[in-house]
Amino acid sequence: MPRPLPLTSPLMQLVSRLHFYIGLLVGPFILVAALSGLAYVASPALEAWVYRDMLQGSEHGDTQPLSAQIAAAQQYLGTTATPGAVRPAPAPGNTTRVMFSAPWLGPSQHDAVFVDPVTLGVTGQTTVYGTSGVLPLRTQLDLLHRQLLLGNVGRLYSELAASWLWVMALGGMALWLTRRRALRQTRGPRRLAHHHALLGSVLAIGLLLFSATGLTWSQWAGSHIAELRHAWGWGTPAVTTDLNASNDTHHGGHADHQAASTPSNMPTLPLADYDRALQSARHAGLEAGRLQLTPPSAPQQAWRVAEIDRRWPTQVDQVALHPHSMAVVDQTDFATFPLAAKLTRWGIDLHMGVLFGVVNQLVLGLIASGISVLIVWGYTLWWRRIRSTTAQYFPLLAEPWRLLPLPAKCGLAVIAVALGVALPVLGVSLAALVVVDALRWCVKQRRTARHLDTHPTIH
């Protein structure tokens, strides 16, 4: 294993100063992401408590047919509209979600009616969001974490945090490997630098995971990642519901992009078809308790029945069913997914605190709390530097950069450009930092030259 470069080397000085600026300038965004993520991690328990009356049904008694449950929801709303999707009660004591589309709802939203599968009583009605079917409280915490409730503009904050988080983690690890012996020997107030470096190294894997999975949801880098996955054949397989599509187009979509509404030109489906679709899906091997049935969204479209249990072991198999015969016309099995698609699924579910349930949520809470402590400690160290009369408040990146050999400069420039293209928010922010740093360096050079002209050295 090669020995780490000394801290006095120009490269490590550049890493140290870049790490400082990430913490100083991007740190507040990372802190907000960590705190809002901490709130989101607690949201499943909050959701179960706040909406307990709506989510809980009868634990004992015979379950009524799914068609009867849907009819109860339609009667409650006073409509004969076909539901956009239905999620049968996953276990005794739970309620069935009958989800309707409505013109006043936003993208990926449904008006859900919750029905007791035993008594057919309606326990509540609310808006649910996304393929996870989260309720309003959790939806708001999710939007707060992802975009600060500011829409697409707010998504820039989380992308900025995710884009720089992995750079901060790797840079911190490099500095810790270089300085670990010296840091162990520090005493007194300077001991905080040791604690900061040690905590960062412990959290490094979590930081890298948060950064990678967070970027998959981002606006700019996320689209590049999706294109890369598609080009390399790493996309998440999904059934096709187009009965006119040829076999070679099967499994070409993404599981999260599904038709969940019924156009006005689509005839009302017999409610008994929901029972038939559920029975056919079970016969096809969909064993998960958590299912979603999506009826045909247009003529020549198939039913889509999908497992939606993302806990370990993951159950996300899907089938497409012919609308008349209920025969399976397409099917995907998670066990046959490419490894990259499985890792993506597991990484996202791990990030959301779903994969391993409460244990997953506790670990994420500890990591988010650790990130918050890291940022606070980093600002404390900077404040102590400001109070020192000999320290440089805002060190220049240009100073160690000028000392690098030409091959190193060229290599770093190529890496920076490549990362800037792949991660546009990182690229733009890095370019802004470099421009400001270059201007500061020019000003410093002029002041130095003016000082030498005014106070020439006497030999």
Would the pLDDT of 208 be above 70?
A: yes
Q: Confirm if 138 and 43 have CB atoms less than 8 A apart.
A: yes
pLDDT tens-digit readout, 82-94? 999 999 999 999 9
Q: Which residue has the tokens 């809980």?
A: 56
pLDDT tens-digit readout, 401-422? 999 999 999 999 999 999 999 9
**Average pLDDT for residues 369-397, to the nearest whole number?**
86
**pTM, 2 dp:** 0.89
> What's the mean per-residue pLDDT of the chain?
90
Q: What is the pLDDT of residue 197?
A: 93
**Average pLDDT for residues 182-209, to the nearest whole number?**
88
Q: What is the pLDDT of residue 251?
A: 42
Q: What is the pLDDT of residue 132?
A: 86
Provide φ and ψ at 295, rounded to 5°.
-75, 170
Q: What is the pLDDT of residue 359?
A: 96
Q: Confirm if 277 and 293 have CB atoms less than 8 A apart.
A: yes
**pLDDT confidence of 438, banded at 50, 70, 90?**
very high
SS (H, E, C) the chain: CCCCCCCCCHHHHHHHHHHHHHHHHHHHHHHHHHHHHHHHHCHHHHHHHHCHHHHECCCCCCCCCHHHHHHHHHHHHCCCCCCCEEECCCCCCECEEEEECCCCCCCCEEEEEEECCCCCCEEEEEEEECCCCECHHHHHHHHHHHHCCCCCCCHHHHHHHHHHHHHHHHHHHHHHHHHHHHHHCCCHHHHHHHHHHHHHHHCHHHHHHHHHHHHHHCCCHHHHHHHHHHHCCCCCCCCCCECCCCHHHCCCCCCCCCCCCCCCCCCCCCCHHHHHHHHHHHHCCCCCCCEEEECCCCCCECEEEEECECCCCCECCEEEECCCCCCEEEEECHHHCCHHHHHHHHHHHHHCCCCCHHHHHHHHHHHHHHHHHHHHHHHHHHHHHHHCCCCCCCCCCHHHHHHCCHHHHHHHHHHHHHHHHHCHHHHHHHHHHHHHHHHHHHHHHHHHHHHHHHCCCCC
Would the pLDDT of 351 be above 90?
A: yes
Range from 179-193, 242-256, 329-343 carrying the lowest mean pLDDT: 242-256
**pLDDT confidence of 392, banded at 50, 70, 90?**
low
Would the pLDDT of 283 be above 80?
A: yes
Would the pLDDT of 69 be above 60?
A: yes
**Average pLDDT for residues 64-81, to the nearest whole number?**
97
Tokens, residue 15: 């890493």
Q: What is the pLDDT of residue 120?
A: 98
**Average pLDDT for residues 27-51, to the nearest whole number?**
96
Would the pLDDT of 122 be above 50?
A: yes
Q: Which residues pair with 126 in a beta bridge?
A: 112
Would the pLDDT of 233 be above 80?
A: no
**Average pLDDT for residues 216-230, to the nearest whole number?**
90
pLDDT tens-digit readout, 269-282? 899 999 999 999 99
Q: Confirm if 355 and 349 have CB atoms less than 8 A apart.
A: yes
Q: What is the pLDDT of residue 458?
A: 54
**pLDDT confidence of 391, banded at 50, 70, 90?**
low
Q: What is the pLDDT of residue 250?
A: 41
Would the pLDDT of 260 be above 50?
A: no
